[in-house]
Amino acid sequence: MAALRVLVGVKRVIDYAVKVRPAPGGGAPGDLPRPLRVQTQGVKHSLNPFCEIALEEAVRLKEKGAASEVIAVSVGTKASQETLRTALAVGADRAVLLEVGEGQAVGPREVATALAALAGRLQPQLLLLGKQAIDDDCNQTGQMLAAMLDWPQGTFASRLELESGAVLVEREVDGGLEKLRLRLPAVLTADLRLNEPRYATLPNIMKAKKKPLEVIPAAELGGTPPDPPRLKILKLEEPPARGGGQKVQDVPALLEGLKQAGRI
């Protein structure tokens, strides 16, 4: 078996099926400040779907004998341990939580910084991430990480194949499919058609409880000290409620209605 260590980044996000709402607090205008967060208390969370795909690919590499170890890593609060246990149940060998405080703003730049520092410690040959998280849809972490590490990157991967010392990546780009050969170590981000992730089974969930999960405060990782966050949320609100439709009798009535609504 090749001595290839794979690091997989996973993120705990609000489950895709949940109807997201602004957090309570913030009543009439001029009252308390409007909420700048969404409701996360008591809301179902799960592993980001694109991270699942990345994890599945890593586990398949190990099953094929192309990789020797799969380490799942997450940058998040204590609650992310749950997500890492799921990753262990799917087939990761061990997990690392880079812990941040509750309410601490953690965007792609902060995550990439932390992962880069961890990569320095663990020396993986392959870094697999999901292409984006479904809560912020940033699609930036993988790219920033590659830049910080000065590693080649293969983003939107829909197929990958390991060769000796390199990885063959097929990427989904606007014009079609692009094939790249990247020297290892490299950063790859997984797109939808890379694979169909497996479901964790009960025996594996039980085994996962015994697999090692290390918690390291992100601030202690060393490397570049964290800069203050550069993004500030100015406003957060629900989209306007959908109004009822109106049937009109004929074209003049339609034009009249559009004029009244200020559309023409």
Partner 1 sequence: MALRRVLGLGAALGRRSFCSKQPLPPDFVEALRAVVGAPNVSTATAVREQHGHDESMHDCAPPDAVVWPQAVEQVQELAALCHRCRVPMVPFGTGTGLEGGVNAVQGGVCFDLSRMDAITELSLEDFSVVVEPGVTRKALNKHLRGTGLWFPVDPGADASLCGMAATGASGTNAVRYGTMRPNVLNLRVVLPDGRLLHTAGPGRQPRWAPGGARKGRDGTGRDGCPPAPRSPPSRRKRAAGYDLTSLFVGSEGTLGFLTQATLRLHPLPEAVAVTTAAFPSVRAAVACTVQVLQAAVPVARIEFLDEVMVEACSRFSKLELPAAATLLLELHGSRRGLAEQQQQTEEIVQLNGGSSLAWAKQLEEREQLWAMRHSAWYAALALRPGCQGYSTDVCVPISRLPDVVVETKQDLQDSGITGPMVGHVGDGNFHCIIVFNTQDPAEARRVHAFTERLGRRALAAGGTCTGEHGVGLGKRALLREELGQEGLDTLRSIKTALDPHNLMNPGKVL
Q: Is 168 in the site for partner 1 (CB under 8 A)?
A: no
Closest-CA residue to 209 (of 97, 86, 47): 86
Give the pairing type, strands 166-173 and 153-163.
antiparallel
- Number of chain residues interacting with partner 1 (CB under 8 A): 20
Task: Select 201 or 224, whichever has its Cβ closest to partner 1.
Answer: 201
Query: Tokens at residue 21, please?
Result: 């709402």
Handedness of CA 237, 191, 186, 129 (dihedral sign): positive
177 vs 231, beta carbon nearer partner 1: 177
Contact 185, 3 (CB under 8 A): no
Give the containing element (helix H, strand E) for 126. Answer: strand 126-130
Residue number with CB closer to partner 1 (28 or 202)? 202
Please answer whether residues 219 and 226 qualify as being in contact, where contact means their C-beta atoms are separated by less than 8 angstroms. Answer: yes
Which residue lies nearer to partner 1 by CB, 63 or 214?
A: 63
Asked if 200 interacts with partner 1 (CB under 8 A), we say: yes
Question: Does residue 198 bind partner 1 (CB under 8 A)?
Answer: yes
Nearest distance from C-beta of residue 233 to partner 1, angstroms: 24
Q: Which amino acid is at 98?
A: L
The least CB distance from residue 107 to partner 1, in Å, is 26
Beta bridge partners of 13: 46
Please pick, from the candidates 202, 233, 234, 261, the single residue that binds partner 1 as defined by CB under 8 A.
202
CB of 198 to partner 1, least distance (A): 6
Rounded to an integer, what distance in angstroms lies between the CA atom of residue 44 and that of residue 82? Answer: 12
Residue 86 binds partner 1, judged by CB under 8 A? yes
Q: Which is nearer to partner 1, 58 or 148 (CB)?
A: 58
Q: Give the binding site for partner 1 (CB under 8 A).
A: 17-18, 42-44, 46-47, 86, 89, 195-205
